[in-house]
Amino acid sequence: MIHSVTTLSRFFALLGSLAVCGVCAAADVAYFADNGYGNPISSLQHPVGEHYQGVTYVAYQGPHEDPYIAAYVHATAQWIGPVQAGVSAMGKSPDQIDPGELDNHGKPALVVDRQGYIHLVFGSHGGDPKYGRNPLGEFFMGTKGKMTHVVSVKPGDISAWRVVDNIPVHGTYNQWVKVPNGDLYLFYRHGGHRSDWVYQKSVDDGRTFAAPVSVLKHKVSAASPTVNDSWYAWFDNGRGDTITASYIYHPCANPKHNAHRQNTYYMQLDTQSGQWSNVQGARLALPVTKESADKLTLIEDTGTVRTTHGTAHVDAAGRPHLVFPAGKDVRYYRWDGKAWQKPVAVGAAGERMHDGDFFVDSPTSVRMLLAQTTEAGHEIAWWNTTDGGLTWLKGAVFMASKERSFNLSAMIRNAHPDAVMLLASRSPAEPHLYRQMHLVGAHGALVRPAAEASHLGDRLEHIKSLPPPNKDKAEAKRKKKLGLGDDDL
């Protein structure tokens, strides 16, 4: 089982072996690649992987912010790749060592269509104005890049890719949803902060897409002309032909920017009828505005507590379960059929809880993988409830390190038990921006011979010759961004 002492001991021993001997040619290591770049993954750009016909495919941001993809064949326990699958318009050369030089918003999202072709969308933070007018949003806070769609040349084969020029360039936070009949929905924010959240539907395996449909409306706030209504949203499969949407409100200051986000919301789409509704079934008119969201889809008014995007899943009855990071907590919400259950903070009191994702085993049983910062360092642990989220107990510590910190993806689509989540890890002592990439599941990390997991070549030697980041310049950038993280822009 994933909680076993043997599994954990094996993983920690692998991490320890890296510290003792570096990259040992004959050793297995607990990562499959060492060329994750900057912040290679996020739960917001999702899914980052899918299990399809015995193979788990995973994608992440690699050198120059380009998309990379690897594949794990479960029957033979063999890794393929990673290979570069495209070119990001936001990439820079040479390798950067100043994190302020990276945008990190163009991370890839992956889906496999009905014919087995693999699709990635990546490479944009709102779209560079040079590519033309944005009809559903604004160019704000230095939007850049070009949302790009690539498809594998052959089904199930990651070795060759082609660009398919069939989507707008003005995307941020690209997300795929594949419904049971195989139709594909691509959700994203159509530009910078002050932009609509939209979806495009494909009924022919991503060869063509219908025009964007606005779901969440950006506009000047009715409460104040100095605030623009903006959103962060997360879309995923619901029960049957339903797509769920969990989201938060961002009162984007005008003309400058602020980091505050608040409130939690939920709604859903019946893909058969094309009708959106709230959790009680009341019909919603599109695009949903701040006023209609507050009236019909609000779960909790969080006030001054800063809330960020989370994830959402449904149980066998189709009732939604959601998590949202709020302040230092991760709050769990559940619809019990009549009302939203009072939110409960998951984790240890007083400790910093971070992003994560979860499995719904039954209406009252949930398993959640959360990243946590403790006095001892960083860890990823299971948190479990069997009473519908009223109480939570910490399970096995899945991964832990005194020095290395971890970034988590959302759960792999159609996950094989041995490969449920993609992780990136880094040490602050490393004088570069490369990260180790881990694919983890029921038996810990899927290991790989160290020589096969090394993909940086002489990049690190070259980086050693570069001057250190300009601290004054970095501080100026920090102040300009108001201390915001990647998902604040």
- Domains of the chain (ranges; CATH) run 5-488 (2.130.10.10)
Question: Is the Cβ–Cβ distance between 380 and 397 less than 8 Å?
Answer: yes
Cα 230 from Cα 232, distance rounded (Å)? 7
Cα 253 from Cα 216, distance rounded (Å)? 18
Residue 461: CB atoms within 10 Å: 9
pLDDT of res. 316: 96
Catalytic hit among 31, 57, 68, 173: 173
Whether 105 is catalytic: yes
pLDDT of res. 331: 95
Burial status of residue 301 (CB atoms within 10 A of its CB: 0-12, 13-18, 19 or more): exposed
Whether 173 is catalytic: yes
pLDDT of res. 78: 98
Upstream peptide bond of 287 is cis (omega within 30 degrees of 0): yes
Phi and psi for 487 in degrees, rounded to 5?
-90, 10
Full-model pTM: 0.91
pLDDT of res. 473: 58
| 3-state DSSP of 66-88 | CEEEEEEECCCCEEEEEEECCCC
H helix intervals, 239-364: 290-296
pLDDT of res. 5: 29
The bridge status of strand 213-216 relative to strand 219-220 is unpaired
Angle at the Cα of 312 (from 308 to 316), degrees rounded to 5? 165
pLDDT of res. 16: 38
* pLDDT string in tens for the chain (489-residue length): 333 323 333 333 344 333 333 333 459 999 999 999 999 999 999 999 999 999 999 999 999 999 999 999 999 999 999 999 999 999 988 788 888 888 999 999 999 999 999 999 999 999 999 999 999 998 877 789 999 999 999 999 999 999 999 999 999 999 999 999 999 999 999 999 899 999 999 999 999 999 999 999 999 999 999 999 999 999 999 999 999 999 999 999 887 778 899 999 999 999 999 999 999 999 999 999 999 999 999 999 999 999 999 999 999 999 999 999 998 899 999 999 999 999 999 987 767 788 889 999 999 999 999 998 888 889 988 999 999 999 999 998 888 899 999 999 999 999 999 999 999 999 988 888 999 999 999 888 999 999 999 999 888 887 777 666 655 555 555 555 544 556 666
Catalytic hit among 37, 68, 72, 105: 105
Cα 4 from Cα 477, distance rounded (Å)? 45
Burial profile 222-251: b = 16 or more Cβ within 10 angstroms, e = fewer: eeeeebbbbbbbbbbbbeeebbbbbbbbbb
Length of the chain: 489
C-alpha dist (Å) from residue 369 to 124, 213, 373, 439: 29, 33, 13, 14
